[in-house]
Chain A
Amino acid sequence: MKQSNSHISGYRELALILLGLLTLTLISVLITELHFGALSVFVALTVASVKVFLVLLFFMHLKFESLLLKLMVGMVFLLFTLVIIITFIDYLFR
């Protein structure tokens, strides 16, 4: 029976991650203000993905969790991506 994780995130580290997240938010808002059209969509979603990555790894502590957990999360995201891709393949070929 495993006990709790020995790694405790520092206050400073967490604050720095927030700073990064706020910066990314600012970037995504500014990019879309500049109206690059379809590219804006791509950039906004890419920035959102980076933010999700930061929240997952640091706020949700995944970076310091077991390999099992990391693999499970990775697999779930992969599965979700596949569902989207396959659905779109269906729609695009109707």
Chain B
Amino acid sequence: MSRSHTHTEPVDHEAGKIGMWLFLFTELFLFGGLFLVYAVFRSQYTDSFHTAAAELNAFVGTLNTVVLLVSSMTIAMSLTAVRKRQTTRALILITATLALAAFFMVNKYFEWSYKFHYDLYPGSAVMKNLEHGVILFYGLYYMMTGLHALHVIIGMVLLTVVLMKVKIGAINADNFLLLENGALYWHLVDLIWIFLFPLLYLVT
């Protein structure tokens, strides 16, 4: 069957969105599995987890929580802007989301460097001499925040592509599935952190 090369298939918006949600479900179980491991070991090594968690900087954790919450709002607002044909506003909002994401990563960098400075990383000589429960806590801390940070980076790449497409008009009020799905991914990154934050930083 021959088709004109200029013909583009109409996008089934609803199906595309459901597809993204299905992917998000797999991400929920990816992190959910780690939360489960954390929950079990926490119940078995309550005191060690308690003391180890106190070593984390709750202020930076709270700051990062605020940063991601604001970034979720800005990306949600950018969708409103695109749909209302307010392109400049949309570009500003997506850029703001990216800036907040970068700020989050900078905070994470300082947090981790601070720990590395004291040789508190998995497999270090210092770590090996700590209590088993403490070793488990740090292993989970690095695994969970590390995997989350990787998702932040992936999200930043995705949103940069979205930003460029909004700029050239490939994403617009009549065709915005990519922005909507990119925003959903970003909200997931925020959701995961909303649970990570109290589990790691607050339950001391």
Contacts and interface: CB of A to CB of B under 8 A. Distances in A.
Decide whether A and B are members of one complex. Answer: yes
A86 B36 CA distance: 11
Q: Determine the main DSSP class of A at the interface with B.
A: helix
A57 B199 CA distance: 23
B43 interface: yes
B162 interface: no
Given A3-B13, A83-B36, A91-B43, A15 B73 contact: yes
Q: Determine the main DSSP class of B at the interface with A.
A: helix
A4 B173 CA distance: 10
Interface in A10-59: 10-11, 14-15, 17-18, 21-22, 25, 28-29, 32, 40-41, 44-45, 47-48, 51-52, 55-56, 58-59
Contact of A51 (B29, B44, B194): B194
B40 A41 contact: no
B145 interface: no
Contacts of A87: 36, 40
Interface string A64-94: 0110110011001000100110011001000
Contacts of B15: 1-2
Interface string B184-200: 10010011001101110
A55 B189 CA distance: 11
Chain A CB within 10 A, most for which of B25, B36, B44, B198: B198
A4 B15 CA distance: 10
Contacts of A58: 76
Interface in B10-45: 10, 12-15, 17-18, 21-22, 25, 28-29, 32, 36, 39-40, 43-44
A11 B74 CA distance: 9
Interface residues of A, number: 46
Chain B CB within 10 A, most for which of A14, A66, A91: A14
A83 B44 CA distance: 18
A69 B183 CA distance: 17
A29 B62 contact: yes
Given A9-B76, A29-B202, A88-B39, A22 B14 contact: no
> What 6 A-B pairs are tightest by C-beta distance, nearest first?
A2-B14, A44-B198, A18-B73, A4-B13, A32-B202, A59-B76
Given A1-B15, A91-B44, 10 more contacts: A2-B15, A11-B77, A25-B65, A25-B66, A32-B202, A32-B204, A55-B194, A72-B18, A72-B21, A87-B36
Interface of A: 1-5, 8-11, 14-15, 17-18, 21-22, 25, 28-29, 32, 40-41, 44-45, 47-48, 51-52, 55-56, 58-61, 65-66, 68-69, 72-73, 76, 80, 83-84, 87-88, 91
6 contacts: A2-B12, A2-B13, A9-B79, A22-B66, A69-B18, A84-B39
